[in-house]
Structure 1
Amino acid sequence: MAAPKKGRSASAQSKPGRSLALILIAIVGLTAGMFATGDTTPRLGIDLAGGTSITLRAETEPGQGSAINKTNMDTAVEIMNRRVNGLGVSEAEVQTEGSRNIIVNIPKGTDSKEARAQVGTTAKLYFRPVLSTEPSGQAATPTPSAGMSTAPGGKPTEKATDKGNPSASASPSDSTGPSASSTTQGRAASGALKADASPSASTPPSPSGDAAAGKLQQQYTKLDCTKEKVRADTGKGTKPSDTTLACGKNAQGQWQKYILGPAEVDGTDVKKAQAVFSTQTGAGWTVTMNFTGKGSDKFASITGKLAKNQSPQNQFAIVLDGEVVSDPYVRQALTGGSAEISGNFDQESAQSLANMLSYGALPLTFKEDSVSTVSPALGTDQLQAGLIAGAIGLALVVLYLVIYYRGLALIAVASLLVSAALTYVIMSLLGPAIGFALNLPAVCGAIVAIGITADSFIVYFERVRDEIREGRTLRPAVERAWPRARRTILVSDFVSFLAAAVLFVVTVGKVQGFAFTLGLTTLLDVVVVFLFTKPLLTILARGKFFGGGHSWSGLDPKRLGVQPPLRRTRRTSAPLETKEA
């Protein structure tokens, strides 16, 4: 085993240029990508660039039992924070103020309109049975047969699988639906829950002489969902127990209008929803739902009832803020507490629906109380002070390296520049990619990373100098010191990265910016030391300045206290003096 290891080591020693070429190509490629996106500077957080501050006031609607208390406010903050921050690094801030207000700060440079829309989507999410539906402003179309999966020109087929019921199976009459397939949780109920292709109009059942139902039918006939103001007013003030009107878009982007029955399942009954790419059934992107204990019973009950009806009254509508976001139809009762919606989803649409199902059910209703613009003046002053402090600290580090390590300081400074270039380019790319915005704590994380990176260089340099003190020449010393230094560097960086990861998970807002930057720069430290610092020192060790131990190289054997080897010489024996008696 020793011989192959030695061979690989020798091969790596002889070709350090490959590592240098690799990291230079990476820098050039990332820089080209940065210019291609058009964002050549990192996005700044609200404390540095300013932005929009939204104040939301919690309210309770008549007929809803949710109270304005700390538990519900904290839940609302968590849900809103997930909505506006996505991966947690876009630096939008969500925090409570007082007992009934939530402040949302959206930094400049992000899509504030989209963020406001996400924050404003605070009404409860409900599952309501569909009583009637038709394209808004168009004549009714014939009702498709109950067994159809799609109709010409209809919306994409969706299905829900009852993953918890091993006995569920597809309806034999559905020849167009995909066949059932086995899963680890039982046999899938293929086609059990599908979106109605082209939902048709049908008059909802109403008691004779019911004036309220007649008035609702008249409003439904006149409803034009193509008008934004009409959509905004549709369903306002409706209680969960009321029959209501709603609007929603079909797969072709056309507006549909609905008459919906009382809510049968509340959004809070959805325990978890996520977008999943299905490879077993070939369904592509799907949305899986898991219900709570009570939600499972409610969902099984309503799907059992809807499965007995004809289309479109075998559909249920998933309604958020009065808008129908999905309207699958049911062919059999779904029990077991979980279901799956599938169809012609792409990743974005599947994730959007899963996000609405997971976080669309806030325990309270919120209304915008005020919207204001935040000035970046204070943050700019603090940033300048922080940059000055960072520059002073960097200058002191470089001065120390020059005094103590002399020529080796050139390698350390070059490595710091490469690390800084990678950090800058990656932060610029992360802005448009995941919404990362640089705030003051994130700047502090980058400054702290200077010390972490310099520490890695010092560990390696000291290992090399120790080898020289033991009497080895520079080239063998560089290679023999690397395994020991590498182990120490990896352990040290792992501890720093672990601390950053834990801090990122357990905190929110600005502190996450510090943790994210610290973790990113720690990873880049490993990349720079392995692909730049060590190969560069290997190449320079072959030159006369470093390899010959010049007094200013930082590797001078005399300066390091190496004693020259003692030479053995033959002693001449002195003549013996004769002694007199």
Structure 2
Amino acid sequence: MLGLLVVALFASILAGTRWSDASLTPNLALDLEGGTQIILEPVPEAKGDVTSETINQAIAVIRQRVDASGVAEAEITSQGGDKIVVALPGRPDKETLDLVRTSAQMEFRPVLVMGAPAATPQDPAASPAADQPTKESPDGPSDIAYYVTPEVQQEFDALDCTLPENRAGGAPGDPDTAFVACDQEGLAKYILGPVEIPGADIKSATSGMGTTSTGASTGQWVVNLEFTGAGTPKFTEVTTRLASQTPPLNQFAVVLDALVISAPSVNEVIPNGQAQISGSFDRESAATLANQLNFGSLPISFTVQSEQQISATLGSEQLQKGLLAGVFGLLLVVVYSLFQYRALGLVTVASLLVAALVTYGVITLLSWLQGYRLSLPGVAGLIVAIGITADSFIVYFERIRDELRDGRALGAAIEKGWERARRTILASDAVNFTAAIVLYLLAVGGVRGFAFTLGLTTVVDLLVVFLFTHPLMVLLGRTRFFSEGHPASGLDPRRLGVDVLRYGGRGRVVTPGQRTAGAPAPESAREPVSVGSGGGLTIAERRAAARAAQSAAAPPPDAPPASGTDEPAAERAEGSDR
């Protein structure tokens, strides 16, 4: 089973190197590779609103944006109390950089006019608002006669959304007036009404497959949108008005960075603040829209003060030293295992190599699929994992040796020892995994990298012990080298301190240190002994019981000679001793 998992793991990576952008080596984090640094500064009109709280909120939003894009190990900090420094590892793509640069707040506006993306200059007299009398106040946010003035119409007609420069985004418009904007893909252009719902009223947005009222899948990707307690009544009011309108007045536009990222139509009143946006989505576009809805709104607006490439803070030399420390620690574990367990230590070596192979494959796969990057704290987590993994093997081997001391044959000792060791290993790894989860949730930056690799290697440890180490021990237990307790096997009875007769198979028992191979045991040793005759006592307890039994059986020094009637029994005992 483990072999199939390893083959599938590396086959996926190799396929990714051929048909995608996968690599045979993990990506490195900022401290080992360097990257791009962007410094954000509040716009002049927003500087009066800058507080430590708003800066922390902005950092949280930017971090969510970056994490959602798949980039790991990014460093986002404040500078001077009013600036934000974003350091991204490697060479991030344009989409990721745009997520950092985009600082406009998200808005929900009603659609008043929708048209083709190209510019269409027209006579102002032909505009929808040209023949409408001037109104002092609107009848509502969707009042075309009030909001679509001749000036707004001219701006709309002249806008050409097929030009890339008109889809570069910009500052949001006046929230109380009409606003002309392009679709972010350049497929349409809009005249929008005033802002009705701010982006801060979005509680969450997720993407997934749509379902019917009976729970069956529709086979189409959708975006599920949920509003906060403050936003729910606003959204209910908006959908109540729009549901009765005709297209395009029944649409509301989601505006981010002065671009319309989505303009869904309203088919019914939504009273609970939970909406579903459907359309021609695929998995990627649905996830992108959900991320934009989740993390699109910043508490204040920023401009990019500087953007530059930065070098690695630690570099390859520190990485080499970290890996060297890991290799040195691994060698110490190997030397200890071979010294303590002889040939049995080779099982530890093989298990560690398998664990290292699986861990390397998983990290490389995550680098490709999830944007994971290996940092120096992550390397430290891998080094610590060597001891954690070796500890599981030691627990297992010592349980097997304890069962052998209790008089069990090797096959039975392996099964009984595994039953006892399994509980200990599961409990120990559960503690390590819980600690890794807590550390990952509470920490930031490089510490999260340490926690991630610690948790990952804990899971790998369980896979290797259950799917490799234990099955391998079962197979080795069937060989003569281990089952007969060869001195180099690590299961030699003399080294284990076994001091009771041991069942050797084929109706034979052997004394401590006696090999079961060769001639049958002498007649004096052929006494029925049940497997596990030690009764679960420790070595010290068994020896103490043996000494007590000998003391009780021996006659006192001044005891009178045995009577005549007892002589035959004494002679039989003497003959038995011979």
What does residue 364 of structure 1 align with?
A: 300
* 2-structure distance, mates of 1:495, 1:259: 58
Structure 1 pair 483–332 and aligned structure 2 pair: CA distance change class (3 A):
closer
C-alpha root-mean-square deviation of aligned residues, in Å?
Answer: 2.8
Structure 1 pair 226–393 and aligned structure 2 pair: CA distance change class (3 A):
same
* 2-structure distance, mates of 1:574, 1:469: 29
Higher mean C-alpha displacement, 432-441 vs 366-375: 366-375
1:80 aligned to 2:5? no
Larger radius of gyration: 2
TM-score (norm: length of structure 1): 0.78
Residue type of the alignment partner of 1:265:
I
* 2-structure distance, mates of 1:356, 1:59: 22
CA contact (8 A) 2:221 2:282 kept: yes
Residue type of the alignment partner of 2:306:
S
Residue type of the alignment partner of 1:374:
I
User: Pairwise mapping of residues 35-434 of structure 1 onto structure 2 (< 5 A)?
Assistant: 35-38=14-17, 39-59=23-43, 61=45, 67-86=49-68, 90-108=72-90, 111-137=92-118, 203=128, 208=134, 213-232=149-168, 236=171, 238-249=173-184, 254-281=186-213, 282-283=217-218, 284-376=220-312, 378-434=314-370
CA contact (8 A) 1:127 1:267 kept: yes
Aligned residue for 2:302, secondary structure, equals strand
Structure 1 pair 499–202 and aligned structure 2 pair: CA distance change class (3 A):
farther
Per-residue deviation, 1:572? 3.0
User: Pairwise mapping of residues 460-475 of structure 1 onto structure 2 (< 5 A)?
Assistant: 460-475=396-411
* 1-structure distance, mates of 2:198, 2:282: 26
TM-score (norm: length of structure 2): 0.78
Unpaired stretches in structure 1, ≥5 consecutive residues: 1-21, 141-200, 576-581
Q: Deviations over 1:144-177 (max 9, x none)?
A: xxxxxxxxxxxxxxxxxxxxxxxxxxxxxxxxxx
Aligned residue for 1:289, secondary structure, equals strand
What does residue 191 of structure 1 align with?
A: none
CA contact (8 A) 2:261 2:289 kept: yes
Residue type of the alignment partner of 2:192:
L
What does residue 3 of structure 2 align with?
A: 24
What does residue 143 of structure 1 align with?
A: none
Aligned residue for 1:310, secondary structure, equals coil
Per-residue deviation, 1:266? 0.5
Q: How many residues align?
A: 487
Aligned residue for 1:293, secondary structure, equals coil
CA contact (8 A) 2:57 2:299 kept: yes
* 2-structure distance, mates of 1:122, 1:528: 47
CA contact (8 A) 2:119 2:158 kept: no
Residue type of the alignment partner of 1:41:
T
* 2-structure distance, mates of 1:450, 1:52: 33
Per-residue deviation, 1:443? 0.6
* 2-structure distance, mates of 1:324, 1:136: 12
Aligned residue for 2:114, secondary structure, equals strand
What does residue 572 of structure 1 align with?
A: 571
Unpaired stretches in structure 2, ≥5 consecutive residues: 18-22, 136-145, 502-510, 512-523, 528-568
Per-residue deviation, 1:424? 0.6
Relative contact order: is structure 1 or structure 2 higher (C-alpha 8 Å, sep ≥ 6)? 1
Higher mean C-alpha displacement, 468-477 vs 455-464: 468-477
CA contact (8 A) 2:400 2:414 kept: yes
CA contact (8 A) 2:210 2:222 kept: yes
What does residue 142 of structure 2 align with?
A: none
Residue type of the alignment partner of 2:253:
A
* 1-structure distance, mates of 2:267, 2:8: 53
Q: Deviations over 1:466-500 (max 9, x none)?
A: 01111222222111211001111111111111111
Aligned residue for 2:498, secondary structure, equals coil
Larger % of helix: which? 2
What does residue 20 of structure 2 align with?
A: none
Structure 1 pair 574–390 and aligned structure 2 pair: CA distance change class (3 A):
closer
Aligned residue for 1:559, secondary structure, equals helix
CA contact (8 A) 2:119 2:160 kept: no
Aligned residue for 1:324, secondary structure, equals strand
Residue type of the alignment partner of 1:114:
E
* 2-structure distance, mates of 1:277, 1:359: 21
* 1-structure distance, mates of 2:572, 2:481: 45
Match of 1:537 among 473, 498, 506: 473
Using the aligned pairs only, state the percent identity: 46
